[in-house]
Amino acid sequence: MPPRKYTVAVAGATGVVGGTVRAILEERDFPVGELKLLASARSAGRTLSFKGAEVEVQELGPGSFDGVDLVFFAAGGSVSTEYAPQAVAAGATVIDKSSVFRQDPGVPLVVPEVNAAHLAANTGLIATPNCSTIQMVVALKPIYDAAGIERVVVSTYQAVSGSGQGGIAALNAQARQWAAGEPVEQQFYPHQIAFNVLPHIDTFLPTGSTKEEQKMVDETVKIFGDPDLKVTATCVRVPVFGAHSEAVNVQTRTKLSAAEAKELLAAAPGVVVVDDPAGLQYPMPLPAEGEDPVYVGRIREDVTIANGLDMWVVSDNLRKGAALNAVQIAEELIARALL
299 lines the binding site for a copy of itself (CB under 8 A)? yes
User: Shortest approach of a copy of itself to residue 283 CB, angstroms?
Assistant: 7
Contacts (CB under 8 A) with a copy of itself, residues 157-176? 157, 171, 175-176
88 lines the binding site for a copy of itself (CB under 8 A)? no
**Is the Cβ of residue 105 or residue 207 nearer to a copy of itself in the bound state?**
207
Among 28, 46, 211, 230, binds a copy of itself (CB under 8 A): 230
**Is the Cβ of residue 225 or residue 277 nearer to a copy of itself in the bound state?**
277
321 lines the binding site for a copy of itself (CB under 8 A)? no
Pick the piece of the chain touching a copy of itself (CB under 8 A) from 41-49, 139-147, 162-170, 274-282: 274-282
**Is the Cβ of residue 120 or residue 280 nearer to a copy of itself in the bound state?**
280
Contacts (CB under 8 A) with a copy of itself, residues 181-220? 190-192, 195-200, 204, 207-209
The residues near 190 (Cβ < 8 Å, ≥ 6 apart) are 198, 200
User: Shortest approach of a copy of itself to residue 92 CB, angstroms?
Assistant: 38
Pick the piece of the chain touching a copy of itself (CB under 8 A) from 38-46, 64-72, 99-107, 307-315: 307-315
Could you give the residue numbers annotated as active site? 131, 244
Residues near a copy of itself, by CB under 8 A: 151, 153, 155, 157, 171, 175-176, 178-180, 190-192, 195-200, 204, 207-209, 230-232, 234, 236, 238-241, 245, 247, 249, 258, 277-278, 280, 282-286, 297-305, 308, 310, 312
